[in-house]
Structures are given as C-alpha cells and as structure tokens.
Chain A
C-alpha cells in the first residue's frame, strides 16, 4: 500500500460526531462572540444589512442595566448559599449511607438519587403546588405547629431561598454518588491504625476521611459551582424571574433577552459576561487547590 495515501477510515468514525459538534457547539461560540459586538435583533435576522457593528456598546450598556446587575447579584446569592449547602448535604448523606453495607445503603441511595433524574418541569409543577400559599402542603404543615403562612414564592428573598431549597433537593444525587465512591475507596487500615492510637470519631473524620476525599470534594465543588453560576431552570419554570426581578439569574436574563425580546446581540454579550465569570471562578478554584 502507498504510505502517503490518505487513510479515510478514522474519519468515517469520528466524522459525523465531529461535524455535528463543530456546527452546533464550536461554531456557535465564534458566532456568539461575533454578534455580541453588533446590535442584531429580529429585523437583523430577516435582513443582514440591518445589523450594525457597535463595538463594546453592548457590554457597556450591560453594566448600566439595573436588571442585569440585579440578575448578577441574585446569581451570586444563589452561589454563595447554594454551593455550600449542596456540597455539605450530599457529603452528609454519603457519610451516613457509608455506615451500612446492605439493603439500607442500596435502598436509600436510590431514594436520594431519584430527584436528580426527574424532569425539571414536572418537579417545578409539583413544588409550585407544595409552595402554594393557600393550598400548599408546606404552609399547612407549618400551621399545625402554629407557624404563620410563609410567602414561599411571593417575596424576593424568600423566593430565592425557596428556589435554592428545591435545587439542593434536586442536585444531591450525583454528588452523593461521587462522595460515596470516594468514601468506599479509603483503606480500612487507616481507621484501624487511628483506633490503636486512641483517636475519637471526630479526629478520624477530620484527619482521615476528609483529607482522603480532597479530590472528590474539589471535583464536586467545581462542578457544583459551575452549575449554580448557570442557575436557570428553577427560576425559569417557577417564578419567571419574579417577583420584582427578585429571582432572576444571569442565565435567565440571557434567555429573556435572546428569545423573549429577540435582542440577540445584547443577549450574546451577556452570555460572554457569564462565560468569563465561570472561567474566572474555575481558575480561582484550581489556583486555591494548588496552594493547598
């Protein structure tokens, strides 16, 4: 066979996937970057000559846009409260499950995992019912112990917390499995050695368990953080950003600009601000881990 002959076989295998990824994932970043410097909107969609280059105007306007700044503030609120809650609760569940090695651990592993595989719209519909101020189960249960009805989704700060509660409930599953796998890979001999030295349970947890899981914790924290920075579906389906823009997130803001107001250029610019924040947050985490 001629050695310089172009071998087509590998490209038959990777071709379709790479082509589709190129068109629907890679090219869109370039397109997005391009239109973020333009004033593209619905009329630009119909007639390209209507599109004007506006330089950094979109970005300057974004940082003067009250609604965007509020969405950014809300997103940081979600991250600061949601990430520690999500990581801690999934770690706690994993530690408790790891005490058992029988039907208990396998059954409850499924029970705690199920929310993360279920449909977000269905979940939102069910939780809207639970959160309903008049007919909802939550307020009824609170009334049994003489607590006044809570405006779960009607007051901005409470609504943000309600969405966080729902999102933590839904996201625990995957992190829990990762923590559980990490816990099970810690050699038993470490604990036996600690027993001989007379270490108590807290010592063992903080000196053996947590350090042995540093990679899992790092991995879960980074992915959870990235996920919460893009917090979208819960406010989208449950509150549509309200009340008074109080639950709006950056991701939802991008959707609204792009698909409700058809301001494609402005929305794309906002998406790059979000992208930059995601990258910076990830880099900071890697930096912190290195100095560890």
Chain B
C-alpha cells in the first residue's frame, strides 16, 4: 500500500514522530533527571533540562555504592556467555553436518527444552546447583545460562546450508575436525554469528533473575541486581536511581544502534513471512 499525496505523508510522519517521542519519553526523562540535583529532581512543576547539571549521582554510584564491582561481575558473565555461544555454535554444527546414532533423539531433547517455561525449571535448577555446592558462586550464576536451545536451532539451520563438499575437500587435504570448524566453518558463519554475538551480549548484560536467586553475597551481584537493591534502599533519591538506570541502559542502546542493521537483517533472513 502506498500513500497518495503529500498531505497523507505528512500525517503518517507526524503520527510516527509523536509515537516515537512517547516511546522515548522514559529514556529522555531518565537521562535528564540523572543530571539534576536532589532538590530539582523532585521539584513541582518539574523542569525539563537540569538547571545546574551535576555528575554527583554518577560519581556516587562508584564511590559510595559498589557499582564498580557489579560492573566487573556483569562483564564476567558477558565474557562467559560468549564462551557459551561458542558451545552453541559447535552443537549447531554437530547437528547440522554430522550423522550419528540417535541424532534425532538428541536433537529432540534440545528442542523440548526450548518449550519449557523458565518458571518450571527455576526451582529444580536451584536445587541441582545446591546439590553441586554451586549456589552463591559465580559458576552457579553462569552455568545454567550458558546454553540456549534456540541458538543451537538457529545455527543448525544455517549449518545445513553449508555444502558437504567443502568440508569433504578440507578433510581430504588432511585438516582435523577442529581445524575445519575454526578455520572454515566459523568464518563462513560470520553473518549469523555477528547477530548472535550482539543478542547474547544484550541478554547477558541484562540478566537479572538468576543472579538474584543464586547470589547472596554483594560481591557477586550484577549491575541489575545492584540497581534493584539501590531502588529498595534509596526510595526517594530519584536522581541516583536515574543515574544507575542510565548506566545500565545507555551502553546497550549505543551498541544496538551501531549494530542494529545486522539484527534487522537477521530477522529478515530467518524467513518468517
């Protein structure tokens, strides 16, 4: 369907613009408020732009609160999620390009795990980790989230399209299986892996519930757990709360804006019509 004339075009553009402004309003408000001092942030009527812009809240996050520690913990989780992505990619390759006994059965197990609501596995996973002595450890936070069946499924779909002849040729040249995987398959899969890297990064940066359940010590908290704590303890200090939120949201938005083209293409490639 197309628009008939300039007037219609202007109307649709206006609706999109107004809607976009409404959708962005919480973010705009968050950033502007984070630079206001304690008095101004609660003033009525509210000011739009901070009158005396201050970095005080951002400094407080790192000096008086442990946001430095939370940041490092979060980055550790992000790092290991990339290792998890490597395991997912290996599994996707294994299912896509090898034949072995009970392959369908193994793959079925992978697919079934995709359909289980998180709430059903939440309690037993905690009990299993407890039996392994991993509650309140970094390993306990990282391990359950390492593998995502949906990623394995997507990567498998891509691997199926890689020609067998290519792999056979490399084998005839005497290349080992892992040499083939790292030197041939991974470079081939770059477009799909790029999207997975960004989505995995975003998901692990945002991870909240599992670190909250498993971590008891503040030294293991992630940024989002720390932020929830901050909200509980500084109920009316909205300037500080907004600074903490902005510190979580802005990096992700920047990364997303740089790479969004690939993510959108990834959705189009996945072929849902």
Residues on A lying within 8 angstroms of B by beta carbon are 7, 9-14, 16-18, 20-29, 31-32, 35, 45, 93, 96-100, 104, 108-115, 117-130, 132, 134-135, 137, 140, 169, 172, 177-178, 181-182, 184-185, 191, 201, 204-205, 209, 215-216, 219, 226, 229-230, 232-233, 237, 250-251, 254-255, 258-259, 264, 267-268, 271-272, 274-275, 278
Contact = CB atoms under 8 A, between A and B. Distances in A.
Interface on chain A toward B: helix, strand, loop, or mixed SS?
helix
A112 B23 CA distance: 7
Contacts of A250: 119
Contacts of B227: 119, 121-122, 125
A116 B119 CA distance: 21
B252 A119 contact: yes
A274 B2 contact: no
Given A13-B93, A137-B29, A264 B123 contact: yes
A178 B267 contact: yes
8 contacts: A16-B91, A24-B125, A31-B127, A112-B23, A122-B227, A122-B248, A191-B1, A264-B123
Contact of B242 (A32, A129, A134, A259): A129
A152 to B, nearest CB: 13
Interface residues of B, number: 92
A12 B177 contact: yes
Contacts of A45: 127, 130
Given A96-B19, A110-B256, A128-B231, 6 more contacts: A32-B123, A109-B260, A118-B27, A137-B25, A178-B267, A204-B1
A23 B33 CA distance: 45
B262 interface: no
Interface in B5-35: 9, 12-13, 15-16, 19-20, 23-27, 29-30, 33
Interface of B: 1-3, 9, 12-13, 15-16, 19-20, 23-27, 29-30, 33, 41-42, 44-46, 87-88, 90-91, 93-95, 98-100, 103, 106, 109-110, 112-113, 116-128, 130, 143-144, 146-147, 149, 152, 177-178, 181, 202, 205-206, 208-209, 213, 223-225, 227-228, 231, 238, 241-242, 244-246, 248-249, 252-253, 256-257, 260, 264, 267-268, 272-273
B98 A24 contact: no
Contacts of B112: 26
A31 B25 CA distance: 45
B43 to A, nearest CB: 8
Nearest to B109: A26
A9 B272 contact: no
A242 to B, nearest CB: 14
B1 A205 contact: yes
A18 B12 contact: no
A120 to B, nearest CB: 6
Nearest to A177: B267
A22 B109 CA distance: 8
A242 B244 CA distance: 25
Contacts of A29: 116, 120-121, 124
B19 to A, nearest CB: 7
Q: Which of B9, B144, B178 has the most chain A CB atoms closer than 10 A to its own CB?
A: B144
